[in-house]
Amino acid sequence: MNNNTIHSPYVNYGFQHEEQRPPPFTHGMYPTLQQYPGPQNPPSQHQSTSPPYPTERYSPAQSLHQYTPQTAPVNTHYTATPALQHAATPIHKGPRKRIWPCVLATVIVLLVVCAVIAVLIWYFGVFQCNERKCKADNLCISHSKWCNGVTDCLSGEDEAQCFRLYGSNFLLQMYSNESRTWTPVCSSKWSDDLGRQACEDIGYPRSTYVGYEEISTRSSLDYMMVKGDSHNFSSLNSTTQSFFTKSSECPSNRVVSLKCIDCGRNIESRIVGGTTVTSQGVWPWQVSLQISRKHLCGGSVITPYWILTAAHCVDKYSNPRQWTVFAGYLTQTEMRYTSGNTVDRIFKHNFDSKTNENDVALMKLNTPLTMTSGIRPVCLPNAGMYFSAPRDCYVTGWGSLYSGGPGSETLQQAKIQMIDSSTCNNRVVYNGQITKTMICAGKLEGGVDSCQGDSGGPLVTKENSLWWLVGDTSWGDGCASRNKPGVYGNVTYFLDWIHEQLQKY
Active site residue 499: no
Is there a contact between 192 and 216 (Cβ–Cβ < 8 Å)? Answer: no
Q: How confident is the model at residue 238 (pLDDT cuts 50, 70, 90)?
A: low
CA-closest candidate to residue 290, choices 53, 11, 458: 53
7 has pLDDT over 50: no
List C-alpha distances in Å: 500 to 145, 202, 265, 267, 355: 20, 8, 25, 31, 24
69 has pLDDT over 50: no
As a whole number of angstroms, the distance between CA 402 and CA 389 comes to 26
Q: How confident is the model at residue 86, as a pLDDT?
A: 41
Q: How confident is the model at residue 142 (pLDDT cuts 50, 70, 90)?
A: confident
Q: How confident is the model at residue 273, as a pLDDT?
A: 56
Is there a contact between 185 and 174 (Cβ–Cβ < 8 Å)? Answer: yes
Q: In this predicted model, which residue has the larger pLDDT, 420 or 73?
A: 420
Q: How confident is the model at residue 151, as a pLDDT?
A: 79
Active site residue 359: yes
Look at 122-131, 175-184, 434-443 and tell me which has the smallest mean pLDDT: 122-131
1 has pLDDT over 50: no
| Mean pLDDT for the chain overall | 79
25 has pLDDT over 70: no
**Bridge partners for 114 per DSSP:** none
Q: How confident is the model at residue 409, as a pLDDT?
A: 95
In one-letter notation, the amino acid at residue 64 is L
* Catalytic choice (7, 17, 312, 499): 312
Average pLDDT over residues 259-287: 86
228 has pLDDT over 80: no
* 1-64+266-505 and 171-259 in the same fold: no
Superfamily of domain 1-64+266-505: Trypsin-like serine proteases (2.40.10.10)
As a whole number of angstroms, the distance between CA 423 and CA 204 comes to 37
* Catalytic choice (8, 349, 353, 359): 359
Q: How confident is the model at residue 81, as a pLDDT?
A: 36
227 has pLDDT over 60: yes
106 has pLDDT over 90: no
**Bridge partners for 186 per DSSP:** 255
In the CATH hierarchy, which fold is given to the domain comprising 171-259?
A: Mac-2 Binding Protein (3.10.250)
Q: How confident is the model at residue 6, as a pLDDT?
A: 35
As a whole number of angstroms, the distance between CA 132 and CA 451 comes to 44
Q: How confident is the model at residue 458, as a pLDDT?
A: 98
Q: How confident is the model at residue 51, as a pLDDT?
A: 41
Q: How confident is the model at residue 54, as a pLDDT?
A: 39
Q: In this predicted model, which residue has the larger pLDDT, 138 or 486?
A: 486
As a whole number of angstroms, the distance between CA 458 and CA 307 comes to 11
Q: At residue 413, what are phi and psi to the nearest 5 degrees?
A: -135, 150
* Structure confidence by residue, pLDDT tens digits, 149-194: 777 787 777 777 789 999 999 999 998 888 888 999 999 999 999 9
Average pLDDT over residues 414-439: 96
Q: At residue 424, what are phi and psi to the nearest 5 degrees?
A: -70, -25
Average pLDDT over residues 46-54: 40
Look at 167-181, 270-284, 390-404 and tell me which has the smallest mean pLDDT: 270-284
Q: How confident is the model at residue 140, as a pLDDT?
A: 84
Q: How confident is the model at residue 40, as a pLDDT?
A: 43
List C-alpha distances in Å: 357 to 318, 353, 435, 499: 18, 7, 7, 19
339 has pLDDT over 50: yes
Q: In this predicted model, which residue has the larger pLDDT, 285 or 22?
A: 285
Q: How confident is the model at residue 176, as a pLDDT?
A: 86
Is there a contact between 332 and 348 (Cβ–Cβ < 8 Å)? Answer: no
Average pLDDT over residues 207-217: 94
Q: How confident is the model at residue 223, as a pLDDT?
A: 92
Q: At residue 86, what are phi and psi to the nearest 5 degrees?
A: -65, -35
* Structure confidence by residue, pLDDT tens digits, 86-103: 434 433 333 445 677 777
Give me the helices (H) in 278-434, please. Answer: 311-314, 332-335, 421-424
214 has pLDDT over 70: yes
Domains of the chain, residue spans: 1-64+266-505, 171-259
Active site residue 477: no
* Catalytic choice (59, 288, 300, 455): 455
435 has pLDDT over 80: yes
* Structure confidence by residue, pLDDT tens digits, 70-83: 333 333 332 333 33
List C-alpha distances in Å: 87 to 105, 111, 116: 11, 13, 22
